[in-house]
Chains A and B, each alone.
Chain A
Amino acid sequence: MKLIIPIAGRGKRVRPHSYSNPKPFLHVAGKYVIDYILKPFLLLNPEEIIIIHDRYTEESVKENLPKLYPNIKFKFAMQNHPLGTAHAIYQAKDFIKPQDDIIIVYADEILLDDITNLYELVNGYDGIIFSREVKDPENYGVLLHENNILTGLIEKPKNPSSNLINVGMYYFPEGYNFINHFVKIVLDKGENEVGEFFLTDAFINMVNEGKKILIKNVNDLDTGSVEKLLSANKILLNGSVSKDTNVTLENTQLFENVSIGKNSKLINCKVRSSIIGNDVLLEGLEIEDSIIGNNVTVKMNGKKFNLGSNSSII
């Protein structure tokens, strides 16, 4: 099995943190986002993890992933222009051989369920799309299904007949065929109205050729915005506190759902529901629902500000 993870884009909804780190290297609940993303898939022993990066994320992923996971074989492919999800996945083409099954997972998605039964689950089907139920399907691309098998996809339907949307995780036992045939058809057809190639069009191609794709509901966490990252932090910590090595607390109270990175020091602080990075110094502050990056110093009543774009203290 090979895992394909696109890690591209500027992460506009997680600024300012995404200015200095690609989204998978943001802190959440005592680890990096990528640690939680990979966790359920590592149990399936992937032979290779293929990272699709762009020019913004290239240096960071090539430098950091092998360090974090020295025992995993990583391959890297560049997506030169942001031309959509099918175009991104297609960059993995040269790494997928006949006989390879593939899992595709987007770098905002944390899967909370155990999927070690994946190979039994897919038995008889041509693929699996992982889904979740939403209360407002009219705002999403909705999965149409019959007996849990995909029949079609509608973008933002006015009268939705289904409330299932795709989570951004897929499994294809015939990975080579998926990429070289179904995804290729999408690319050969030309860009859509927004100038991009969508992976969901590949699924429609599969349905049109009589392929059976199973839709499976899962529990997942989206980490694609500051609010969602804080929410994920709460759910993953479940009330507790995570402190990395060499954290110093002086006259400081930590309430629920606090994650603190290594070498950080908090003096006269009260903190709840927050993510604090590495090498941080905080003095005299009350903090809640906050994300503070790495190497940050904030002293109460400080007058010298060195604050990057898109920061806020409100």
Chain B
Amino acid sequence: MKVIIPVAGKGTRVRPHSYSKSKSFLKIAGKTVIEYLIDHLSTLNPEEYIIITDMAYNKDYKNFLETKYPNYKFSFPIQEIPLGPGHVILQAKDLIKKGDDLFILFSDTIFVKDLSCINHLKKESDAIIFAKEVEDYQRFGVIVHNNKHITKFVEKPSTPISKLAAIGAYYVKDGKNLIKYIEKLIKLNIMINGEYFLTDAFVLMIQDNKTLFVEEVDDWFDTGKIETILATHQKILKGGIWKGDNLQIKNSIIGKNISLGNNTQIINCNIENSIIGENTILQGLTIKDSVIGDNVKIKKDGHSFNVGDDCYIQ
């Protein structure tokens, strides 16, 4: 089995943090998003992890992952032009051999599920789409099924025909075949707003009488925007605190759900529900529901601001 994790993408919804690093390098409770993904998928014992990056961050991912996981096999194809989640999988085409099954995980998604379920589910299906019931189904593509067999996908429905939303995790039994379906999608020019969607490849599979199962996950954490990063952080810490090395904390109240990166100094502060990076110095502040990066210095009533695009203090 091969794992495919596309990490390309600008991360516009997690700015400014995605300006200084690729969004999958954001840390939640001291661990990068990409590490959460790989650690979870390692339970599948994949033969190879295919990490699809954009041009700018390719070397950063290679250096980080090959150092962190020296015993795993990685490949790092590059997606040069962003043409959607369906198209990005094509960059792995040459790495998928006959007989390879695939686990595809889009990188905004941390989820909780014992993946050994795949072993029996794959006996009767060609693909498994992992999903979760959501309240705000109107925002998502939902999955309509008949006793686990997927009958159709409906984009952003106005009535609750189904509340099961695909979370961005997929198992596909025949990887080479999936590539063929994606190529068919491109040949038929099936696009939405200039992008090819993986779901549309699955629709073609259903039309060809392939069997697709939907399987619900136990929990699902989105890391695609600031608010959901903080919610994910809360779920992971469960009220606790993550502390890096060499911290200096003086005369401060550290509340619930806090991450403090290495070498950071917190002086005369009151902090709640926040992620603070490394080498950061915070003095005299009340901070809540915040994400503060690395190498940041803030003093209460400071007059000299060096603040980059898309920051806020409100």
Q: A307 and B311 in contact (CB under 8 A), knowing A55-B56, A312-B306, A313-B297?
A: yes
Please count the residue pairs between chain A and chain B whose beta carbons lie under 8 angstroms apart in the complex: 175
Complex contacts, B163 vs chain A, CB 8 Å:
none
Complex contacts, B285 vs chain A, CB 8 Å:
305
Complex contacts, A277 vs chain B, CB 8 Å:
309
Any A CB within 8 A of the CB of B289: yes
Residues of B15-60 at the interface with A, using a CB-CB cut-off of 8 Å, are 15-17, 19-21, 55-56
Residues of B255-314 at the interface with A, using a CB-CB cut-off of 8 Å, are 274, 277, 285-299, 302-314
Whether the Cβ atoms of A313 and B307 lie closer than 8 Å is yes
Complex contacts, A288 vs chain B, CB 8 Å:
303-304
Whether the Cβ atoms of B298 and A313 lie closer than 8 Å is yes
Any B CB within 8 A of the CB of A314: yes
Query: CA A50 – CA B277 in complex, angstroms?
Result: 39
Complex contacts, A298 vs chain B, CB 8 Å:
305, 307, 311-314
Complex contacts, B291 vs chain A, CB 8 Å:
305-307
Any A CB within 8 A of the CB of B231: no
Q: A296 and B312 in contact (CB under 8 A), knowing A304-B288, A310-B296?
A: yes
- Residue of A274, A291, A305 most packed against chain B (CB within 10 A): A305
Query: CA A288 – CA B304 in complex, angstroms?
Result: 5
Any B CB within 8 A of the CB of A242: no
Whether the Cβ atoms of B309 and A309 lie closer than 8 Å is no
Query: CA A310 – CA B313 in complex, angstroms?
Result: 15
Complex contacts, B303 vs chain A, CB 8 Å:
286-290
Any B CB within 8 A of the CB of A16: yes
**A27–chain B nearest beta-carbon distance, Å:** 11
Query: CA A308 – CA B18 in complex, angstroms?
Result: 9
Complex contacts, B305 vs chain A, CB 8 Å:
274, 285, 287, 290-292, 298, 312-313
B10, closest chain A residue (CB)? A59
Any A CB within 8 A of the CB of B203: no
Residues of A18-43 at the interface with B, using a CB-CB cut-off of 8 Å, are 19-21
Complex contacts, A274 vs chain B, CB 8 Å:
305
Any A CB within 8 A of the CB of B226: yes
**A215–chain B nearest beta-carbon distance, Å:** 36
Whether the Cβ atoms of A296 and B292 lie closer than 8 Å is no
Q: Which of A286, A309, A312 contacts B20, CB < 8 Å? A: A309
**B75–chain A nearest beta-carbon distance, Å:** 19
Query: CA A20 – CA B311 in complex, angstroms?
Result: 11
Query: CA A219 – CA B294 in complex, angstroms?
Result: 37
Whether the Cβ atoms of A312 and B309 lie closer than 8 Å is no
Query: CA A312 – CA B311 in complex, angstroms?
Result: 11
**A9–chain B nearest beta-carbon distance, Å:** 13
Q: Which of A19, A287, A299, A314 contacts B16, CB < 8 Å? A: A19
**A236–chain B nearest beta-carbon distance, Å:** 19
Any B CB within 8 A of the CB of A302: yes
Whether the Cβ atoms of B19 and A306 lie closer than 8 Å is no
**B76–chain A nearest beta-carbon distance, Å:** 14
**B177–chain A nearest beta-carbon distance, Å:** 34
Whether the Cβ atoms of A307 and B314 lie closer than 8 Å is no
Any B CB within 8 A of the CB of A297: yes
Range of interface residues on A (Cβ < 8 Å): 35 or more
Query: CA A192 – CA B244 in complex, angstroms?
Result: 40
Any B CB within 8 A of the CB of A56: yes
**B78–chain A nearest beta-carbon distance, Å:** 10
Q: Which of A56, A287, A308 contacts B293, CB < 8 Å? A: A308
**A203–chain B nearest beta-carbon distance, Å:** 32
Complex contacts, A226 vs chain B, CB 8 Å:
306
Complex contacts, A55 vs chain B, CB 8 Å:
55-56
Complex contacts, A310 vs chain B, CB 8 Å:
20, 293-296, 306, 308
**B304–chain A nearest beta-carbon distance, Å:** 5
Whether the Cβ atoms of B17 and A314 lie closer than 8 Å is no
B78, closest chain A residue (CB)? A55
Q: Which of A289, A293, A302, A303 contacts B309, CB < 8 Å? A: A293
Whether the Cβ atoms of B308 and A308 lie closer than 8 Å is yes
Whether the Cβ atoms of A294 and B310 lie closer than 8 Å is yes
Whether the Cβ atoms of B290 and A306 lie closer than 8 Å is yes
- Residue of B15, B16, B296 most packed against chain A (CB within 10 A): B16
Whether the Cβ atoms of B55 and A306 lie closer than 8 Å is no
Whether the Cβ atoms of A19 and B19 lie closer than 8 Å is yes
Q: A292 and B307 in contact (CB under 8 A), knowing A56-B56, A304-B290, A310-B293?
A: yes
Any B CB within 8 A of the CB of A17: yes
Query: CA A286 – CA B55 in complex, angstroms?
Result: 41
- Residue of A58, A299, A312 most packed against chain B (CB within 10 A): A312
Complex contacts, A305 vs chain B, CB 8 Å:
274, 285, 287, 290-292, 298, 312-313
Any B CB within 8 A of the CB of A295: yes
Query: CA A85 – CA B291 in complex, angstroms?
Result: 38
Complex contacts, B297 vs chain A, CB 8 Å:
311-314
Whether the Cβ atoms of B309 and A20 lie closer than 8 Å is yes
Q: A309 and B312 in contact (CB under 8 A), knowing A286-B303, A287-B303, A290-B305?
A: no
Chain A residues packing against B (C-beta within 8 Å): 15-17, 19-21, 55-56, 58, 226, 274, 277, 285-299, 302-314
Given contact pairs A302-B312, A305-B290, A305-B312, a sample of 20 additional A-B residue pairs in the complex whose CB atoms are under 8 Å apart: A15-B20, A16-B19, A16-B20, A20-B16, A20-B310, A55-B56, A289-B304, A290-B303, A296-B309, A296-B312, A297-B313, A304-B313, A306-B311, A307-B313, A308-B15, A309-B277, A309-B295, A310-B308, A313-B304, A314-B304
List 4 tightest A-B contacts by C-beta distance, closest first: A308-B16, A16-B308, A309-B293, A290-B305
18 inter-chain pairs at a CB distance below 8 angstroms, sorted by A residue, are: A15-B308, A17-B308, A20-B16, A20-B19, A20-B309, A293-B311, A295-B309, A296-B309, A296-B311, A298-B311, A298-B313, A302-B312, A305-B274, A306-B16, A308-B309, A310-B293, A313-B297, A313-B302
